[in-house]
Each structure stands twice: as C-alpha cells, then as structure tokens.
Amino acid sequence: MTPPANGGTAAPAQPPAPPSRPASYWAPLSVPVFRTLWLAQFVSNIGSWMQTVGAQWLITEQRGSPGLIALVQTAASLPVLLLGIPAGALADIVDRRKLLFTAQLVMLTAAALRAALTALGQMNSYGVLVLTFFLGCGTALMNPAWQAIQPELVARRDLIPAAAALGGVNMNMARAIGPALGGLVVALAGTAAVFAVNAASFLVTLAALATWHRSARADTMAAERMIPAGSR
C-alpha cells in the first residue's frame, strides 16, 4: 500500500451504508385515513360476496334454471367489462371522492331496493339480475377511482406498493369470509336479510368517505377531457 503523500496516516475506509429495509406490507394501516377506508372497503366487499350468495339462493328458491343462477355472476361482472375504460377516464376527469360517493349511492340504492322488494315478496329472478347489474355498474365506476386514490392516502412513496398489495388482501379475505357469512344469514334470517346487510355495508363506506378530505393540491388538479383520458 502506498503511504499518503503528506506522510500522515491513511483514513480508514468507511463501511458501506446498510441497505434500507423495505416498508412492511402492513405499514399503510398505520395511516389513519387509509386504515379507515381499507376497513370500510373490507366490510363492503364482505357484503358484496354475501349478496351474491343471497341472489343465487333466491333464484334457486324460485325454481330458476341453472342458466339464470349462472347469470348472477355475469350480471355482476359484465359492467366492469363494459364500463372499465369510461370509468377509468372519469377517475382522471372528475373529483375522485365525489365519484366514489356517487358509485356507493348507486349501489346502496340498488341493494336497498332489492332488500325491500324481497321482504315484500315482490322480487323475481329477473329483478335479481337487473339489480345485480346495477350493483355491478357501481362497482365498475368505483374500482378505478379507488385504485387511483391510494397514493393520496399514503404520503410516503415507499408505502404505495404495500397499499396496493393490501387491496388484494382485502378482496381475497372478503372472498373467503363473505360467502360463508352469506350462507349463515340466509339460513338464519332469509335472503332479504342478506340484501339488507349488503345495503348497510355501503353506508359504512359512505361514512368513511365523509371523513376523508382530499388535499388542496388534489382538489385543484386540472381536469382532462374524456377521449385523451380514455386513450391512455
């Protein structure tokens, strides 16, 4: 080793800085607004899976054909296919909080109407499919905006991947719990009760959205036009 030119002692090499640890996948739940909306969405997702069980059971009780029973899932999923791109464009154009409110109100109205008509004995298989379709329309409107607000809910960039992962955890946990709860409520209280529980779950999400106030920067972002937003 060549000594330093000034005859002094060479400074010891600094050890490399340890790599920063990635944020825990549960870390976004420490953010109050994210935790509130995540829990509200979990309740709503459970209600949605419960109402699927209730809708299929109601059609079965009315001696509907296997094709009608299968159409329940089609009626719930088809709006996502038809409205996915326009809903994504809307999420870039309008205030996302207002869009989420609107979607939840659409779903609350459809769920409450189905619960009331079922309790009165006025709901038939085709009515179930029509109102399931409207519930699917609300879901299609909500999903892009819900994904887009995640960076607003968690301020730290390193938490955004974890927030996105928790969205998947939310849905999969609800998918595991909701059908079992739906079957239990149908057995104990009937299909009208399942639909009423689903309607109440949307009230939980609306209450959570009421506690969220978007930042001034997000509220004043310039709106895009529909065609450029949809062509992304």
Average pLDDT over residues 86-97: 93
How many Å from the N-terminal Cα to the C-terminal Cα in the chain?
Answer: 59
Q: Six-digit token pair at 214?
A: 């978007």
pLDDT at 186 over 50: yes
pTM of the entire predicted model? 0.82
| Bigger pLDDT: 61 vs 216 | 61
Residue holding tokens 């739906």? 182
Residues 6+ apart with CB under 8 A from 106: 134, 137, 138, 141
pLDDT tens, position by position, 199-221: 999 999 999 999 998 765 554 44
Which region among 5-14, 42-51, 123-132, 135-144 has the lowest average model confidence (pLDDT)? 5-14
Instruction: List pLDDT tens digits, range 30-50.
Output: 999 999 999 999 999 999 999
Q: Which domains does the chain have, with CATH numbers?
A: 38-213 (1.20.1250.20)
